[in-house]
């Protein structure tokens, strides 16, 4: 089993034979953490879209729409981007349409992969077990921030690599693994130095960050199936 890590969508072009590989999409703050929460709370499916206009096309009685603009829930939307908005009683058996710029782009780029999996610290062990059972080559695809490398996605790649012992790691994965082993034991403290933490702190969503750094609180694996994200 080989593991490659893509630290920014701009580096995805290095991946070959994607159709034989499993891609884990990683956008820790907050898209893939929120998606994992929504699927765990019993949503029937989730559609990730890149912007407000795409989301509004789905507006009807059967779909609920989530997303933010400048930290505020968008007019006509049912939820913002915080995982805390998606309570069980609101999302159970519903299809959720979620706007997420960086995460959606990664899902679209990876759509030819053998499998596309949604990863977050919340379901770290569940994703690791899923990957062990599949026993295919793996691409850890960090969404980053506007095509830049970010710390939280990179550290998650390291955390996942740490669980997949005996895999053959490329240099990007080795870098993430070493960094996670250095500082991942106190994720919040480590991420306080990061650029995204400081952006979100200004928006007052520290509670979201703390939530997204919880390990193994969720035991399901969201996967992409026919354009929809569903429970595996």
Site for its own copies in 14-43 (CB under 8 A): 14
Taking the complex as a whole, the smallest distance from the CB of residue 150 to its own copies amounts, in Å, to 5
Output the six-digit token pair for 127: 């994703």
Using DSSP, state whether 220 is helix, strand or coil: coil
- Cis previous bond, 30, omega within 30: yes
Output the six-digit token pair for 48: 């990730």
- Out of 52, 108, 170, 214, name the contact with its own copies by CB under 8 A: 170
Q: How many residues belong to the site for its own copies (CB under 8 A)?
A: 31
d(CA 13, CA 148): 15
Q: How far is CA 175 from CA 7, 39, 118, 157, 180, in A?
A: 10, 31, 21, 10, 9
Run of H or E residues at 229: strand 228-231
171 in contact with its own copies (CB under 8 A): yes
Taking the complex as a whole, the smallest distance from the CB of residue 205 to its own copies amounts, in Å, to 18
179 in contact with its own copies (CB under 8 A): yes
- Out of 174, 220, 228, 230, name the contact with its own copies by CB under 8 A: 174
228 in contact with its own copies (CB under 8 A): no
Contact residues for its own copies (CB under 8 A)? 7-8, 10-11, 14, 145, 147-151, 154-155, 169-172, 174-176, 178-183, 190, 193-196
């Amino acid at each position: 089993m080989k593991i490659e890590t893509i630290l920014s969508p701009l580096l995805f072009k290095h991946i070959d034979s994607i159709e034989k590989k499993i891609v884990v999409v990683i956008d820790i703050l907050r898209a893939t953490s929120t998606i994992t929460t929504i699927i765990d709370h019993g949503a029937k499916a989730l559609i990730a879209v890149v912007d407000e206009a795409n989301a509004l096309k789905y507006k009807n009685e059967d779909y609920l729409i989530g997303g933010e603009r400048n930290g505020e829930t968008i007019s006509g939307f049912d939820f913002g981007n915080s995982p805390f908005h998606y309570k069980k009683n609101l999302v159970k058996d519903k299809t959720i349409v979620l706007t997420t710029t960086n995460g959606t782009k990664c899902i679209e780029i990876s759509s030819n992969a053998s499998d596309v999996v949604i990863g977050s610290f919340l379901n770290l062990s569940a994703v690791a077990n899923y990957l062990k059972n599949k026993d295919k080559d793996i691409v850890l695809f960090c969404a980053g921030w506007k095509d830049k490398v970010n710390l939280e996605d990179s550290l998650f790649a390291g955390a996942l690599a740490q669980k997949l012992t005996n895999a053959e790691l490329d240099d990007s994965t080795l870098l993430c693994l070493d960094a996670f082993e250095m500082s991942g034991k106190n994720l919040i403290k480590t991420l306080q130095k990061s650029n995204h933490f400081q952006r979100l702190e200004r928006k007052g969503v520290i509670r979201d960050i703390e939530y997204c750094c919880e390990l193994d609180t969720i035991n399901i694996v969201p996967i992409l199936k026919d354009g929809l994200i569903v429970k595996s």
